[in-house]
Amino acid sequence: MITPPSTDELALLAQSTFADTVFLLTEPSTEPHAPSPDCLCAVIGFDAEVSGRLVLAASTALGAQLAADMLCVDPTDEQAVAQAGGALAELANVFAGVLVPHVFGETGEWALGLPRVLLAEPPLGASERSRGVTLVSDAGHAIRVELVLEEKPTN
């Protein structure tokens, strides 16, 4: 049986991964953040002992900042804005590569899907449970990190 990470563990894993890979410095939010009207969601599914998905939800402005840093351009550059979703998807891909082995074990059997970019957070299914945390960047941008797992039916 798997034990999903606590909210604090999820926050720490995300913070360290974001800082180490894209130099995105974040802290857990002390207040609720409503979804941004220009929300981008990077979703990456996985198959393991239980199936699930990782969702990163952020504003287009944060996605553009990530893309700008990757492309070495200004965040207002048209290429940074155009690649905002792709940059968030790449961050989700990297973080899923850290999170899934943490949840299912380094030697466990699991497979990651390809990241998708959506314009809204996907709703939870009836047989799903989630654990999430909202982080805020040093520039004030919120990023929602959510781990969604399928409930296995009890026999």
CA distances from 23 to 17, 20, 59 (A): 9, 6, 17
Residue 45's DSSP bridge partners are 53
pTM for the model: 0.92
Residue 52, pLDDT score? 95
Most confident of 24-33, 100-109, 121-130: 121-130
- The larger pLDDT score, comparing residue 4 to residue 32, is at 4
Q: What are the extents of the domains in the chain? A: 7-150
Phi, psi (rounded to 5 degrees) for 132: -145, 165
Helix (H, G, I), strand (E, B) or coil at 134: strand
Other Cβ atoms within 10 Å of 140 Cβ, number: 8
Residues 39-92: tens digit of each pLDDT = 999 999 999 989 999 999 999 999 999 999 999 999 999 999 999 999 999 999
User: What is the CATH class of 7-150?
Assistant: alpha beta
Q: Give the pLDDT band (50/70/90) at residue 153.
A: low
Q: In this model, does residue 24 exceed pLDDT 70? A: yes
Query: What average pLDDT does range 120-131 have in this prediction?
Result: 92
